[in-house]
Amino acid sequence: MRTDLIGSSRPTTSPPSPTRAPMSTHPSPPPGQTIFVERNAKPGCLRRLLWPVLLVSLLLNASYLSRETSGLTPDRLEEQYVLGSINPAADKVAVVRIEGLIALDTVDHAVSQIRQARTDEKVKAVVLRVDSPGGTVTGSDQIWREVELLKRAGKPVVVSMGGLAASGGYYVSAPADLIIAEPTTTTGSIGVIIELPNASDLLDKVGVDFRAVTAGEWKNMGSPFEPFTDRELARFQEMVDDTYDRFLRVVAQGRKLTMARAREVADGKIYTAAEALSVGLVDRLGYQEDAIAEAIRLADLESPRVVRYNRPFSLGSLFSFSAASASRPALIDEKTIMELRTPRMLMILR
């Protein structure tokens, strides 16, 4: 007979539920045998390192495929729209930038830009945007040659001078059909210089004896560790004079001056834009937009597309730069020392 009542405060005791064994996905072992189950091991250090490597590999492959499908080659620059017609098939005016010290990388990039403009049949005129204090004689002459070839290809060249277009910066500008300087441009400094540092007195004071064993009378000419002789200085002067004569011919040819007149204005003097205009080193004052307008006029174009060139971005070049930066020594290395002790002829603002 049931004796508990509904609502009673007496606790109700339920019969214990049978305990269920946890379900297992593994079969029960046969009698007399034991099954050992091996759990999955956690990823180790090696496995964790493989994921970044795989990711980098995928990115590099994607970059390579992108470059291949876009038609870019390592020597081909990317074309960036600046202004004018948005029609990709329109005739073009290319803006080529020559910026900074004229040496190594600057020369390579400038030459690549000019060559691409010269070989592109759609480019009908070029604006050289020059903002440079000059640099090495050879680098300046290499760019000058490319500008000459550009003109021989029948493409008008207009120079737009930025804040500074001096010495080698003027050398590369001289062949242009038209030179436009901004009102605040500094130009001129037409000349050649060899800088010859000498530490022989310092070595004597600190008690260092430096000797060089050479074959050839002039082999050690210009060594910074030995006093210069009058004959050595005279020989350096001959070299500078010869290069300066070439600079004068470049100016005379480009600006249509006599050699005598070129020598008068190209004496190393630094000119303001107004002064350069008065002596015939530039044609007018204006800005880059004016240079573009003149290039359009000279090429007799209706509605051209104005473009400029950039180096194509690639992950490979980024990683190469990072590796080079990481491996570069903090102190001056042997190569730098050799460059410092080698006399260099320069066309640079001083």
Q: How far is CA 61 from CA 50, 55, 66, 68, 311, in A?
A: 17, 10, 8, 10, 19
- Residue 219 appears among annotated catalytic residues: yes
Query: Taking phi first (over 0 means left), then psi (-120 to 50 degrees means alpha), and beta for anything else, what does residue 300 get?
Result: left
CA-CA distance, 277 to 45, in Å (whole number)?
70
The catalytic residue among 132, 140, 160, 167 is 167
Q: Active-site residue among 57, 219, 320, 322?
A: 219
Instruction: List the structure tokens of 240.
Output: 């500078």
Distances from the Cα of 73 to the Cα of 116, 150, 256, angstroms: 12, 22, 39
Which of 288, 273, 282 is closest to 95 using CA atoms? 288
For residue 271, give Cα distances in angstroms to 184, 210, 265, 267, 321.
Answer: 10, 43, 10, 11, 39
Q: What are phi and psi of 46, to 5 degrees?
A: -60, -40
Which positions are catalytic? 167, 219
